[in-house]
Structure 1
């Protein structure tokens, strides 16, 4: 049976039970060197702050909640608002919509109704818009009573969303607009951080449905988080971002083994796929690097939605992807190696904001990925 064919039937199933999933993160120190770009710096261990941050954290407080479940608190949102968010999540989980869809749906409801199930607002009403998603009965969304039912309204939103070709690779704004056809198409993006936080808190933001009962668990290697992000390698963090002894280290080093797959952290377009310093003999990428070899070796840069860029350095061989290629979250990009400025196999991983590939655009990868529900340094 297709997803859209399951919609009416799936709503009648029981909600997934509340689950608590915690991920223990261990930072394994190894003797590596990594430049992470064109600058060269020697490895030090993680700072005390980084070790503390990595010691233990979860991807969220609990799974989708039963109707009578206690709600965790999220700053700025009331119990009724969070109850509506839990309903949106539950419907998405019941319908087997990937968790990224939950974030899109909640962000949309934030923009349309501030997560309030609105009735007719009289002169302040936008035409005949009603409910969480401000769906209009005159436009075929259902009767006034139906669109003010949070379960029905959520189901109709997901029904439209899954029919949008390529929605899982779109930015949140584009996916939401494809469903809503809003007069303010750029308004949805600003709600993505709060929507992701709510999913993290209510439903283990890194969660994915597994098995017939749609039990939720934190994202493991190869699983895509609710935000659309995934862990690039399964490995501990061996060197942190801009530590006191390496203030110009623009990423984190993940101590993966030679030959491990390197995965795209999110959907996007490849903008760089090459050997760094391959025009400066004897520094080549067809051999292992060293502490005296400059650069990233074989590396890939990917541009994602909202001008976020990720970088993957020190691959063993030529990358598997080419410039201009669209890649999906979790798609293999290359193989862990030690080309470039490196004294041992590992992945140097960077996150840049505002489309800025320079050091000025680099941001803390641990914090970024944790907030996206796909924390670095996790095992399973």
Structure 2
């Protein structure tokens, strides 16, 4: 979700009105709502919007409808979960007026239902992206020649990392990622469960593997999962945050799987004879939760198998949640230089709290969409002279 003033102007008015419906003064409501946005990435802007707010004359339902209308205009977005959580926190505050809890609870219920409906509208990857998946063959073959030239920032000192392959993939699928992480100082571990069929029966074995690595190193373990492997990694991070250093997903659907539109799901349902949505309900519900560990989600907008918006987590919930876009196909992400760099840099940054610096790091930025989305030639002058 972009830092857009229209959405947050509308939402903060709604949040203030809900707080005031519990019997608070405008001043007290402002203090409460500001507190609920503490540590939000847009906190400074939101505090400014709240400070400027005057007495709100509109009714709660009017403000709710206006906010939902703005969300409709923005379209599907994972970051709505942050707004849900803010409303939920306000609704739990003890009311000074009888019966006013019902107002807050109804607003929360309606808002959740409406944004859930909006998020169900994420379309399946376009045919063009599906056809582009054939380039993954080139990506894998070319990696043998490209690999020696990928910059290697020696940083980690044997920090443990458990990697999980994509659906229908095995440990060979993560070979390049593991090789690169070892070259920069990480101790990598395979998942050792053969072909990944995204079966919930694999979870106990993976948790046992996590326990073994944790006991061996006597420190938390970083989890890296590609596509279906990221599903397992996220659920394990949710169940055992005390043993997980951080979570990194590579082209993984980390939310909304139950309603996800993808040619991959349709083909699986055809081959396996029953709907994926009817299997592993508990498994899917756990995937919706956001683990209390640093999260990095790597995605590509030219993904031909999964809708890329499902591969992004709610960045506005916490400052340690990051979505990073790369160029490339879904099937080629295991042999993508920018993916290798992102995984290694993210692991190191979240462990040390320091981002890699230097001219090599600046040159690396040329291989990411974020650099090319900047306007004007200033992006080049900033690259070498900032």
Q: Under TM normalisation by the shorter chain, which class is it?
A: under 0.3
Q: Which has the higher contact order (CA 8 A, sep 6+)?
A: 1
Normalised by the size of structure 1, how large is the TM-score?
A: 0.23
- With structure 2 as the length reference, what TM-score do the two structures score? 0.23
- Whose helix fraction is larger, Structure 1's or Structure 2's? 2
Higher strand share: 1
